[in-house]
Amino acid sequence: MSRFFATGTDSESETSSEEEHVVRAPAPVYTFSDDEEETKRVVRSMKEKRYEELEGFIHSIRNHRKIKDFSSALASFEELQRAYTRASSVIQKEENGIAPRFFIRALVELEDWVTSAWNDRESRKAMSKGNSKALTSLRQKLRKYTKEFDSEIVKFRDNPDLPDDDEERKEEPSSDESDEEEKVKEKPKVRRSPEPQRRPAPQEDESSDSMDWGSSSSESSSSSDDETRGAATLRERFLKRATERDDDEEGDRRRARRERRDRVGKVSKKDQVDDGGEWETVRKGAATSDKPKMFAKDSDIDAALVVKKLGEVSAARGRKRTDRRAQLELLHELRTVAAQHNLGDALQLKLRAATVAALFDYNPKVSDAMKPEYWSRLVENVDHMVTILLAHEDMMLSESITEETEQLVTAPFQVRGSLLIALERLDDEFTKLLKECDPHSNEYVERLKDEVRVSALIDRVCQVVERDGTPQEICRAYLRKIDHLYYKFDPRAVKKDQPPSEETSIKKMEKFCKYIYANDESDRLRTRAILSHIYHHALHDNWFQARDLLLMSHLQENVQHSDPSTQILYNRTMANLGLCAFRRGNVKEAHGCLAELMMTGKPKELLAQGLLPQRQHERSKEQEKIEKQRQMPFHMHINLELLECVYLVSAMLIEIPYMAAHEFDARRRMISKTFYQNLRASERQALVGPPESMREHAVAAARAMRRGDWRACLNFIVNEKMNAKVWDLMVGADNVRAMLGRLIREESLRTYLFTYAHVYASLSLRSMADMFEMPRQRVHSLVSKMIINEELLASLDDPSECAILHRSEPTRMQALALQLADKVGNLVDSNERIFEKQGSFFQRGGAPRGEGRQRDRPREGWGRRQRNRRRDDDRTHED
Amino acid sequence: MSYSKFDLTFKIGQYLDRHLVFPLLEFLAAKETYDQSELLQAKLEILSKTNMIDYVIDIRKMLYPDEDTPEEIKSRRGVVLSQLQELQDAVEPVLRLMQRDDVMKTVETMRDPKTLINYLTTNKEFEFRIDMIDSMYRLAKYRYECGNYVESASYLYFCQLVMSPTEKNYLPVLWGKLASEILVQNWDGALDDLNKLREFIDNGAGGATATNMQALQQRTWLVHWSLFVFFNHAKGRDLIIETFLYRPLYLNAIQTMCPHILRYLATAVIINRSRRNALKDLVKVIQQEAYTYRDPITEFIEHLYVNFDFEAARRKLNQCQAVLSTDFFLIACLEEFVENARLMIFETFCRIHQVISIGMLAENLSMQPEEAECWIVNLIRNARLDAKIDSKLGHVVMGAQPLSPYQQLVERIDSLSVRSEALTSLVERKQKVRTDIRWGGQEF
């Protein structure tokens, strides 16, 4: 609002400024955002902005109506339509989708005018060509458009005299200032029921005024010398602001008077309206920005007085025109005063709590992070609160204590407030701060150093909460702690020879999580605790514990019903579980864990590690904002390349032998679609160059494995490039590489047997062991397993240590014949199904005989296939 | 004695009643695995909370031969006896009633506890009062603590008849009855009680299993107590597989609370030749729990059916014998176990191999070659094995013929033509019916 004064329209009265301005220059709504930035920016809600825009267009339509300029009216109407669609989301939210009344009124008026103009044939003939054309199209467009608001228009026509925003807005300039102020505060309510609302506002002001006057009358008489000092600081402030206006003309006395009122906390509206001169000064320094004296010098300062002051200061909280910085300073001053007069720690605590609240208020936008310095102050303040609380056994800080039951002077102290909420918000703000800065900059590192402070603070808060919190509160505090613990790798925990007394993070997690499991009443905390616990176990290679916890919690079944952030945590947990399974050599499980994440092709989004541009539909602003809020800070990210590599390698180890075994199988299923596509894409290429990226390496390895060339496969998977990119990122990289070597050999052997068994009459186990550089025992075991599972039609000849292959692997011809048989079988099946479906149709024609048997069979087969698939799915998760 | 690390007495003991631990300790004493005096000490400790004073005195004498029995114990004996008398007096009418066969017969025929109580209270001659049920229960418990299991069992039987399942003492009565039956080695009765108890727990009646945690605990106990029954009752071998492996609730309890039970389950599956198909499920469970529990028996199965490592399986089989012979529950089926385990090894062998040298086979089965040959001959003669012995080379040659692709193909398409024909005829018939109707419509 102060922008007006910057442009020098000082004769204007403040209240009328905003609306009048908009009315006069309707189109360039956005243009003045520039001067807004120069001066102190007033943040208006989205709703206000949109409504102003709408009103602007309505007003211009009205103007065009007066001069009967149809073509301009048409243009404005189109603008209005567009503006309304823009505002529709706000309307959806604020008004439940009901179009605001002033908008309907405008539509009705416009309609009336257009119909009358249309009916007046005489003048229509007299119209210019352009105008009459515009009238026609306006009429059509309007008709079409009003259809959408039919019901509302009918309602409006029934009762057109009800006051609406528009009227209210017209009245506003004449109404006094306090009204405006109240409106700002309670805008949503005003829109719906302006009449009853207007009544209490002045009353409230009056009453508070009179009360304030009463309380401060004693000071005002003796405050002459404070006033001069206050004026001096005020002047300094003005000078610093470098405003062009010279306000020295203002009489000291007058200023003092205003100041005194400011100090009282409320600006008396009547005075304001009366002497317009004072207005400007208020604007200049922003309503409560000046630093008033707290108390008279010789007055007795005691706790009650300070609390009263505090009440006054915080009463201004959340108002549009309160200067938040000034509030902070006031609170700070109050604190020093309280400290000087030794008013006790309880009061200090209360003041600190108020400061914390004010600091949170300082940042008007919820979605944006607060400034680091303010955050830092926040930490200090909360820290002080904790110190005070810890120092006094008999001090309680709780939300359940009301203002009336507070006990600040005598022990046991009772203070209203919540440490936990402060902590939670502080932590959230910290995450926001991290997300705001570039993860690759030094700034991020600097910010991240604060994590230690936050963790320490959480620890201390836990102590307090453990002392006098309810179990649920303790759970919440613990969960915060877990949140800061679960993604960190503790090298002590994986050491074999750790002393049992050592507090590893695993033990800590165990302690906190167990408490939450036992005491949590809301399922959400427990779910999050379990997920974090699994994550932590997986991080430290405790595969079995992690797996059992996951299976026993039955989270897989119902996680899709939980909130997005829990689902993200679930995804992160599954990713880590997959990595853990892989490190432990459980390839199948690793694949099962990761498949869900990788199948969609957007693990980045699923893990909340960045937004992908969407092709089909644009995100709305809000949605983008929400999604941005969900993102993980960078230091908690999981390496996506590592994830993908692990996934591809496990898919390779499973898929390639499977492909080899089922080469002629008509009903072969793909185990991993993503991997398959990659492989296909590479096979389609005429010329394959040496692999560059991780993905190419994986595919090249897969192709080598298909030939049974384990050495090449291993070289593609484990080499310097891949080491640097992937394997070295793992804990126990050497173990992982050894495991890979072993698995690749085994699976290559299996693939080799599947692929080339038909060209052998017998295979010596010994030579196979040599070929694949495996112990003979292992080869024997593998071959035996294949024979038992009937994957390899052979039997061992013990004395010569050979596998004698039975000539029953189908030849190409036979395989094709088998395939054909399968397909024909499918055909018969589907015939029967069709027949069954039409059965009812045939039945109408009579002759239901002999059908029962036929109907049962295909259905049974169908059910079995489905059941099998489900079992397969289960297996991938569970074993 | 190196197998004491596989001794489960300690683990199992945690889930048993103190009285049920005695047989285990007696067994250990007989085996001389542990120091005798330690065992006696343990017994004494267990007895300290029971009322088996005479037994305490005996053991004390064995432990400290040169010490006199302390006065305290002697006086306690008197107290116990008088208390017993007191309790017995309180339920005198019931005891008298239980002596009369005719009454008991009518009592047994009544299914519903309510009508039963009605019958007992209205009949003046019995002098029965409702509160006697409680006293009866207390007496039974006291008797049990004194080691008079037979009486205890019969008293509890009566309690069970008159109590409705919703009463709070019903669950303890069931447990007590089971324990008494086990201790008097009445396995049929014990099995009945076991089933009753299991149903009771599974149905969660009477608030006995209010929370999942309690239910889990109750099931864990039941699993342990039932070992006594399963390994002594004739039908137990089938039942143990049914209960432990195929009831998800119990399998769950085993997996979460007491994976060591897998030893008994594995043994039961091995010795039960008719339940070979259970092996697959068992292998799964064993693999899943391998990280929390392994002993020679589960490892034997793992080697044989997961790794196909016959050499290791053979080694494990040797260990198994030692473990089995020191296990209270399993010692009875040692012979059977060895025989069946051998058979399993051999069966697997045959499925994989075409030609086996008898020498190697004998080695794998830990037998003499002649003995092994004899064994195989027996198998062949009983038509359980399609094989021939090449005595010149000392080989066994399997006779299995693999399925040729031609046969596969024939099998696959065999039914197709029949099915298609049936389908066509059906369609034709329907078509005919429809055209018939149309014809009819035209005619009239």
Look at A43-57, A231-245, A645-659, A712-726 and tell me which has the smallest mean pLDDT.
Answer: A231-245
Token pair in block for residue B134:
């409680």
Among A517, A665, A788, A828, the residue to mutate for chain B (most B Cβ within 10 A): A828
**Residue A341 pLDDT more than 60?**
yes
User: What mean pLDDT do residues A552-570 have?
Assistant: 85
Among B353, B397, B421, the residue to mutate for chain A (most A Cβ within 10 A): B353
Tell me which residue of A237, A236, A285 sits closest to A258, measured CA to CA: A285
Q: What is the pLDDT of residue A549?
A: 87
Distances (CA, A) of A329 to A282, A326, A425: 18, 5, 22
- Taking a C-beta distance cutoff of 8 angstroms, is the pair B267, B337 a contact? yes
User: How do residues A287-317 score in pLDDT, each as one tens digit?
Assistant: 333 444 555 555 666 667 777 777 777 776 6
- Distance between CA atoms of A542 and A545, rounded to whole angstroms? 6
Residues 6 or more apart in contact with residue B287 via CB below 8 angstroms: A879, B302, B306
Tell me which residue of A593, A493, A476 sits closest to A537, measured CA to CA: A493
Q: What is the pLDDT of residue A199?
A: 42
The residues pairing with A435 across neighbouring beta strands, listed in sequence order, are none
**Residue B45 pLDDT more than 50?**
yes
Residues 6 or more apart in contact with residue B346 via CB below 8 angstroms: B361, B365, B376, B379
- Distance between CA atoms of A230 and A333, rounded to whole angstroms? 14
- Distance between CA atoms of B261 and B230, rounded to whole angstroms? 13
* Inter-helix orientation angle A564-583/A543-553, to 10°: 140
With tokens 């006291």, the residue in question is: B142
**Residue B418 pLDDT more than 80?**
yes
- Distance between CA atoms of B258 and A693, rounded to whole angstroms? 49
Confidence of residue A276 (pLDDT cuts 50, 70, 90): very low
User: How do residues A808-850 score in pLDDT, each as one tens digit?
Assistant: 556 788 888 888 888 888 888 888 888 877 655 444 444 444 3
Query: In 3-state terms, what secondary structure has residue A317?
Result: coil
With tokens 């800070």, the residue in question is: A633
Confidence of residue A575 (pLDDT cuts 50, 70, 90): very high
Among B354, B396, B397, the residue to mutate for chain A (most A Cβ within 10 A): B354
Share of chain B above pLDDT 70, in %: 92
Confidence of residue A584 (pLDDT cuts 50, 70, 90): confident
Q: Look over chain A and give the mean of its residue pLDDT values, rounded to a whole number.
A: 72
- A120: amino acid identity, one letter: D
Nearest Cβ partner for A814 among B398, B400, B405? B405
With tokens 């259970």, the residue in question is: B278
CA atoms within 13 A on the CB side of A614: 10
Q: What is the pLDDT of residue A848?
A: 40
Residues 6 or more apart in contact with residue B200 via CB below 8 angstroms: B165, B170, B171, B174, B206, B208
Is the ipTM higher than 0.95? The answer is: no
User: What mean pLDDT do residues A874-879 have?
Assistant: 43
Q: A799–B409: do the CB atoms touch at under 8 Å?
A: no
Give A600→chain B minimum CA distance, Å.
Answer: 30
User: What mean pLDDT do residues A170-193 have?
Assistant: 44
Tell me which residue of A314, A267, A188, A263 sits closest to A15, measured CA to CA: A267
> Which contiguous run of DSSP H or E holds residue A408?
none
Among A805, A808, A834, the residue to mutate for chain B (most B Cβ within 10 A): A808
Residues 6 or more apart in contact with residue A281 via CB below 8 angstroms: A247, A250, A255, A258
Set of chain B residues whose Cβ sits within 8 Å of the Cβ of A831: 420, 423
Pick the residue from chain B with its C-alpha nearest to A857.
B419
| Antiparallel, parallel or unpaired: β A802-805 and A762-764 | antiparallel
The residues pairing with A407 across neighbouring beta strands, listed in sequence order, are A414
Residues of B with CB under 8 A from a CB of A: 256, 284, 287-288, 291-292, 307-309, 311, 348, 351-357, 360, 393, 395, 398, 400, 402-406, 408-409, 412-413, 416, 419-420, 422-423, 426-427, 429-430, 433-434, 437
Q: Look over chain B and give the mean of its residue pLDDT values, rounded to a whole number.
A: 79
- Distance between CA atoms of B417 and A626, rounded to whole angstroms? 62
Confidence of residue A578 (pLDDT cuts 50, 70, 90): very high
Query: In 3-state terms, what secondary structure has residue A521?
Result: coil
Distances (CA, A) of A878 to A255, B284, B291: 77, 11, 15
Number of C-beta neighbours around residue B72 at 10 A? 8
Q: A796–B353: do the CB atoms touch at under 8 Å?
A: yes
The residues pairing with A789 across neighbouring beta strands, listed in sequence order, are none
Confidence of residue A533 (pLDDT cuts 50, 70, 90): very high
Q: What is the pLDDT of residue A534?
A: 92
DSSP designation for A763: E
Instruction: Answer left, alpha or beta for residue B204, where phi above 0 means left and psi between -120 and 50 means alpha.
Output: left
Token pair in block for residue A564:
């997005």
Please count the residue pairs, one from chain A and one from chain B, whose beta carbons lie less than 8 angstroms apart. Answer: 101
Q: What is the pLDDT of residue A749?
A: 92
Q: What is the pLDDT of residue A251?
A: 47
User: What mean pLDDT do residues A557-565 have?
Assistant: 84
Set of chain A residues whose Cβ sits within 8 Å of the Cβ of B419: 828, 832
Q: A821–B413: do the CB atoms touch at under 8 Å?
A: yes
User: How do residues B166-191 score in pLDDT, each as one tens digit?
Assistant: 777 778 888 888 888 888 888 888 88
Q: What is the pLDDT of residue A535?
A: 92
Nearest Cβ partner for B360 among A787, A798, A825? A798
> Which contiguous run of DSSP H or E holds residue A617?
none
Q: Whole-model pTM?
A: 0.65
Q: What is the pLDDT of residue A278?
A: 41
